[in-house]
């Protein structure tokens, strides 16, 4: 974090971290502490910001004509602030990584908003986890008949081939059985749409609704299971099933600056993309990507459609670029953003 590692040492460290998924929690703890103490120098600025936000809940004792006490406070204030931030960081990380209920023997990796991680499972399967996602797995999967994992959120899997030990993912509305392949799953608990995108190989999907309906995907195909959809314009590749819409379509790369990208998997390259999506849909993505809260006060603005791709831009730069396409206003208060 101090930038003192050589390039070879950095490669070795990344390999060690990817080989030990549990170490990701400690890595995030150190990052939060490092970043928090780094900003503690400007104590007065952050103290005033904190006082403005929580002033009603605080008691202030104003002391006049006491230069010695003031000088002493200024001398030690930054150390006091650093200690407070250290404690807060530990508390936040504890609650962020507190294990969920499930099998006692299972390991869980939790990736918060604004974070993306790559992990290596015991069988050699490589998993890219998108922001606000959780992955549970059996650390003894190499000794089991089935390699079982549970996903909440979004992940890209590159599954190690093992014909005798199928790899099964339980992902909210669907379960996916594979032998060895690469695919993306988007299955956030609060989303009405669950998507599985197959890049190569073959996957078998089973709906988690008590039925035995199975769907086989071919490479470059995507299955979307959409709740609450009452669509009268179902096309040939749309099916209505138990109040849900099943949409199977071929994925099409998007060309940007003479390069082609697959929108469904571009996030694994630290690139956020949206194609003909509404502001309401995009806001959900931006909240997870940048760890912010976005409110849209105007239904018409929420229905605006955008197509775009961003790599290293800040949330302010993304919204400013979108304002060049459609007219809307922005009001920011810390991590709360209102669009109107």
Do 68 and 111 reside in the same domain of the chain?
no
Judge if 149 and 62 occupy the same domain: no
List, in order, residues 6 or more apart from 77 with CB less than 8 Å away.
43, 47
Query: Do 197 and 265 touch, CB atoms closer than 8 A?
Result: yes
Alpha carbons 48 and 65: distance in angstroms, whole number? 21
Q: Considering only the C-alpha atoms of the chain, give the largest distance between any 2 of them, rounded to a whole number of Å.
A: 81
**What are 35-82's pLDDT values in tens digits?**
665 554 566 777 777 777 666 555 544 434 444 444 444 555 556 666
Domain contains 205: yes
Sequence-separated (6 or more) residues with CB below 8 Å from residue 330: 319, 323, 337, 338, 339
Is 168 within 8 Å of 147 (Cβ atoms)?
A: yes
Report the mean per-residue pLDDT for the chain. Answer: 78
C-alpha–C-alpha distance, residues 37 and 316, integer Å: 25
Domain membership of residue 259 (yes or no) is: no
> Would you say 160 and 141 are in contact if contact means Cβ atoms under 8 Å apart?
no
Residues 208 and 133 in one domain: yes
Same domain? 92 vs 71: yes
Mean pLDDT of 257-282: 87
117 and 87 within one domain: no
Are 223 and 195 within 8 A, CB to CB? yes
The reported pLDDT for the residue numbered 84 is: 61
Same domain flag for 136 and 70: no
In a domain, residue 23? The reply is yes
Looking at 96, 118, 133, which one is the last position of a domain? 96
Q: Give the end of a domain, one of 96, 125, 151.
A: 96
Domain that holds residue 17: 7-96
Residue 148: phi and psi, rounded to 5, are -105, 135
Residue 20 pLDDT more than 90? no
The total of structural domains in the chain comes to: 3
What sections of 213-336 are H helices per DSSP? 279-290, 299-302, 315-323
Residue of higher predicted confidence among 212 and 267: 267
Asked if residue 82 is part of any domain, the answer here is yes
In a domain, 2, yes or no: no
Task: Clarify whether residues 172 and 276 are in a common domain.
Answer: no
Entry pTM: 0.65
| pLDDT tens profile 155-197 | 999 999 888 899 999 997 889 998 778 999 999 988 888 999 9
pLDDT of residue 95: 44
* Structural domain contains residue 326: yes
């Amino acid at each position: 974090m101090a930038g003192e590692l050589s390039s070879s040492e950095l490669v070795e460290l990344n390999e060690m971290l990817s080989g030990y998924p549990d170490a990701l929690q400690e890595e995030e703890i150190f990052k939060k502490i490092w970043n928090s103490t780094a900003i503690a120098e400007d104590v007065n600025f952050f103290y005033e910001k904190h006082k403005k936000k929580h002033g009603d809940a605080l008691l202030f004792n104003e002391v006049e004509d006491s230069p010695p006490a003031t000088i002493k406070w200024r001398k030690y204030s930054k150390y006091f602030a650093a200690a407070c931030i250290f404690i807060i960081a530990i508390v936040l990380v504890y609650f962020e990584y507190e294990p969920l209920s499930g099998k006692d023997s299972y390991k869980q990796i939790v990736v918060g908003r604004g974070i993306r991680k790559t992990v290596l499972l015991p069988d050699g399967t490589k998993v890219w986890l998108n922001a606000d996602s959780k992955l549970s797995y059996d650390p003894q999967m190499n000794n089991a008949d089935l390699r079982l994992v549970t996903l909440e959120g979004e992940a890209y899997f590159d599954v190690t081939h093992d014909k005798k030990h199928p790899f099964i993912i339980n992902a909210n509305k669907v379960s996916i059985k594979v032998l060895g392949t690469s695919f993306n799953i988007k299955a956030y608990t609060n989303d009405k749409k669950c998507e599985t995108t197959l890049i190569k190989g073959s996957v078998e999907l089973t709906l988690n609704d008590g039925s035995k309906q199975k769907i086989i995907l071919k490479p470059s195909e995507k299955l979307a299971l959409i709740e609450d959809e009452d669509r009268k314009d179902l096309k040939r590749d749309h099916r209505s099933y138990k109040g849900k819409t099943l949409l199977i379509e071929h994925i099409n790369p998007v060309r940007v600056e003479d390069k082609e990208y697959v929108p469904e998997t571009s996030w694994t390259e630290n690139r956020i993309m949206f194609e003909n999506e509404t502001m309401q849909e995009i806001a959900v993505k931006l909240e997870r990507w940048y760890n912010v809260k976005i409110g849209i006060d105007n239904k018409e603005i929420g229905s605006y459609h955008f197509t775009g791709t961003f790599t290293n831009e800040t949330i302010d730069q993304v919204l400013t670029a979108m304002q060049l396409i459609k007219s809307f206003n922005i009001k920011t208060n810390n991590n709360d953003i209102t669009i109107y």
